């Protein structure tokens, strides 16, 4: 490692650390707000907030590493170009390959870290989050965590439940239920009720006593209003297995390696794509930097922003197309990464000094 390599590596690492800490602070604040909102809605127990937030951070932190590295490299190279350091470096015989060597010293360990996070920690964190959500959902279904004076939602928000009071026998008082599972919305008000579950079939039911029922959609005139002494509201069947709800993101990497399902293969390539993104972004960072302070840097920075925006969008499209069978299986879902490199060089190389000089020679002939 030369003196210039150490200098470039130090500058990139310092700026990368500042950027990643800033992004982590923003992410923690956003995730905390989302988690507290789930607690307020009764979807999540307040006792598992810290653990759930930690798993969320482990799951999503790997997505911050490539953009933080890309921004750090662009800012460092831009500052060196503004201070004419890149011109001095070129005068000393260090060309683009020397820049790439120094950048790769920072990209390789970060890519290894991202690969470890994506292959090991991220699926484990996603699985733990899924377990917490399953447990909270079962507790909500069993009315174990239900508290008086709070609104609770079930079945993806299609059922809204409010209970004013709960006695020692788990009997409810002053119940409000809104059921939007059918095309015609249903509103039920009852003086009392209780929750029951059939252990054999897994069916869940709320039995209501002494109330009124309103069937109809807001704004429509065809309402049906009725009263009842006893009313049974079905909450559906309780799922006995959690494996049916498990997503590919929470599947261990070892299980994905032996799977032939397109969704599992797309998830596996998505995890490897986090590490490969460092090298793709490192390759396009050097041509996106104006080598001289006389060259306008605004256009290249705009191109860098568009390149990364296209990178993210093509990533999602490639994975969706591969999982849906639109693209052939042999192509995979990482083809967007070399495509971005080709696009950047196709835009910048014709405008380079060497290309313009070659074009003038051919024109004068």
pLDDT tens digits, 291-339: 555 555 556 677 778 888 888 888 888 888 888 888 888 888 888 888 8
pLDDT, one tens digit per residue, over 80-131 is 877 777 778 778 877 778 888 888 999 999 999 999 988 888 888 888 887 7
Please work out, in degrees rounded to the nearest 5, the angle formed at the alpha carbon of residue 357 by the alpha carbons of 353 and 358: 120
Calculate the CA dihedral of residues 118, 283, 310, 292 and round it to 10 degrees.
140
- pLDDT score at 360: 53
Tens digit of each residue's pLDDT (9 = 90 or more) over 144-199: 456 677 777 777 778 888 888 887 777 888 888 888 888 888 888 989 888 777 66
Residue 333 confidence (pLDDT):
85
Return the domain boundaries, the chain. 3-138+245-364, 146-242
Q: Are 117 and 63 in contact (CB under 8 A)?
A: no
Among the listed residues 76, 68, 79, the one whose alpha carbon sits nearest the alpha carbon of residue 19: 68
Joined together, the tokens standing for residue 62 give: 């790997």
The region, left, alpha or beta by phi > 0 then psi within -120 to 50, assigned to residue 332 is left
Cα distances (angstroms) measured from residue 136 to each of 10, 132, 358: 46, 6, 68
Residue spans of beta strands (DSSP E) within the chain: 151-154, 159-166, 172-179, 186-197, 203-215, 224-237
Q: In angstroms, how far apart are the furthest CA atoms of the chain?
A: 99
- Can you give the C-alpha Rg of the chain in angstroms? 29
- 3-state SS class at 68: helix
Task: Please tell me the predicted confidence (pLDDT) of residue 19.
Answer: 92
Q: Calculate mean pLDDT across residues 246-274.
A: 82
Question: Left if phi > 0, otherwise alpha if psi is -120 to 50, otherwise beta: which for 222?
Answer: beta
Instruction: Look up residue 327 and give its DSSP letter.
Output: S
Cβ contact 319:266 at 8 Å: yes
Cα gap 315→320, rounded to integer Å? 9
Count CA atoms within 13 Å of residue 112 on its CB side. Answer: 5
Q: CA angle, 288 as apex, 286 and 290 as ends, to 5°?
A: 90
Chain-centroid distance of CA 311 in Å reads: 15
């Amino acid at each position: 490692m030369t003196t210039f390599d150490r200098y470039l590596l130090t500058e990139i690492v310092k700026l990368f650390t500042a950027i990643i800490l800033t992004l982590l602070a923003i992410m923690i604040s956003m995730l905390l707000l989302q988690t507290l909102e789930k607690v307020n809605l009764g979807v999540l127990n307040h006792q598992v907030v810290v653990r759930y937030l930690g798993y969320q951070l482990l799951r999503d932190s790997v997505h911050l590493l490539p953009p933080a590295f890309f921004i750090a490299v662009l800012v460092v190279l831009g500052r060196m170009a503004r201070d004419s350091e890149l011109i001095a470096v070129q005068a000393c015989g260090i060309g683009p390959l020397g820049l790439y060597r120094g950048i790769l010293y920072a990209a390789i360990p970060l890519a290894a870290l991202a690969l470890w996070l994506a292959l090991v920690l991220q699926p484990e964190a996603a699985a733990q989050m899924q377990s917490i959500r399953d447990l909270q959902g079962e507790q909500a279904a069993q009315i174990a965590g239900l508290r008086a004076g709070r609104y609770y939602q079930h079945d993806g928000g299609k059922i809204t439940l409010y209970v004013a009071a709960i006695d020692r026998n788990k009997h409810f008082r002053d119940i409000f239920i809104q059921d939007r599972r059918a095309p015609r919305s249903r509103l039920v008000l009852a003086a009392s009720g209780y929750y029951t579950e059939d252990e054999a079939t897994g069916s869940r039911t709320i039995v209501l006593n002494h109330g009124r029922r309103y069937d109809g959609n807001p704004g429509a005139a065809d309402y049906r209003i009725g009263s009842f002494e006893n009313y049974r509201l079905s909450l559906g069947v309780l799922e006995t297995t959690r494996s049916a709800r498990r997503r590919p993101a929470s599947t261990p990497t070892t299980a994905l390696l032996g799977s032939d399902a397109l969704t599992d293969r797309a998830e596996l390539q998505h995890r490897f794509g986090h590490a490969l993104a460092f090298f793709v972004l490192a390759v396009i960072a050097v041509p996106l930097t104006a080598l001289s302070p006389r060259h306008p840097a605004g256009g290249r920075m705009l191109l860098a922003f568009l390149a990364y925006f296209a990178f993210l969008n093509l990533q999602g499209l490639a994975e969706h197309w591969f999982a849906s069978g639109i693209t052939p299986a042999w192509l995979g879902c990482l083809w967007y990464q070399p495509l971005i490199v080709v696009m950047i060089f196709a835009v910048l190389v014709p405008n380079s000094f060497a290309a313009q000089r070659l074009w003038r020679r051919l024109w004068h002939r």
